[in-house]
C-alpha cells in the first residue's frame, strides 16, 4: 500500500465536481486501499479521491470509534445524499486539504446516503451526528465544495490571506 500526497487549497482541482465511476476495476480497488492508508496516516475521519488528485466519485470514511486498535473503514463509490434533516453545528471541523484551519460549520443532523460498495453492491446508510457530518463533508468534496465555502466570509478571507503569505514564503 502507498501513502498518497494530499492535494491542498488553493489547488483548482478541489473546486471541480468529480466524475462518476462506471467500472470498479483493480485500479479503483487499489486506489481505495491507498486512500484508506493515507487517511489513517494523516490522520483523518474521511478522504475523497479528489483530495489525492483523482477526479472520481469515491470516498473512504473511518469507522473506528475511540481507541480501537483496528483501523476499519468504509469505501463508498458514487455516494449521494438522498435525504437530510435537522440542523447540527459541527464544531472544530477540519479538512486534510485545508491545513491549519478548524471552524464551525452548519450541517444536517441526519443524512441518508446511497452508494456502491467496492464489490458494486448498493449500500444505504442512515447516519446521525458526527458520522453524518463526515459523509456530508466528503460528499461536498465530490461536488467541488470545500468546507471553506461553508464558513463565515471573514474567517474564509483570513485563511486565504494566511495561505498567500505561506506561498510567498516557500
- Half-sphere exposure in the Cβ direction for 92 (13 Å, CA): 2
Q: Is 138 a catalytic residue?
A: yes
Q: What is the pLDDT of residues 61-90, one digit of tens each?
A: 998 766 555 689 999 999 999 999 999 899
Contact 118, 75 (CB under 8 A): yes
For 135-167, write each residue's pLDDT tens digit.
999 999 999 999 999 999 999 999 999 999 988
Annotated catalytic residue within 37, 93, 127, 138? 138
pLDDT for 51-64, tens place per residue?
A: 999 999 999 999 87
**CA pair distance 25, 103, nearest whole angstrom:** 37
Task: Catalogue all structural domains in the chain, each as residue range(s) with its CATH number.
Answer: 12-169 (3.90.45.10)
Amino acid at each position: 500500500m502507498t501513502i498518497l500526497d494530499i492535494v491542498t487549497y488553493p489547488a483548482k482541482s478541489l473546486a471541480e465536481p468529480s466524475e462518476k465511476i462506471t467500472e470498479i476495476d483493480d485500479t479503483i480497488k487499489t486506489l481505495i486501499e491507498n486512500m484508506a492508508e493515507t487517511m489513517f496516516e494523516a490522520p483523518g475521519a474521511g478522504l475523497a479521491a479528489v483530495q489525492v488528485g483523482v477526479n472520481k466519485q469515491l470516498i473512504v470514511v473511518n469507522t473506528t470509534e475511540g481507541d480501537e486498535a483496528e483501523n476499519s473503514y468504509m469505501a463508498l463509490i458514487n455516494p449521494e445524499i438522498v435525504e437530510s434533516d435537522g440542523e447540527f453545528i459541527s464544531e472544530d471541523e477540519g479538512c486534510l486539504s485545508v491545513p491549519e484551519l478548524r471552524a464551525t460549520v452548519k450541517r444536517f443532523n441526519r443524512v441518508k446516503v446511497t452508494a456502491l460498495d467496492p464489490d458494486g453492491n448498493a449500500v444505504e446508510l442512515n447516519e446521525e451526528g458526527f458520522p453524518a457530518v463526515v459523509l456530508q463533508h466528503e460528499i461536498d468534496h465530490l461536488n467541488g465544495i470545500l468546507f471553506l465555502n461553508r464558513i463565515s466570509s471573514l474567517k474564509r478571507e483570513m485563511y486565504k490571506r494566511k495561505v498567500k503569505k505561506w506561498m510567498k514564503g516557500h
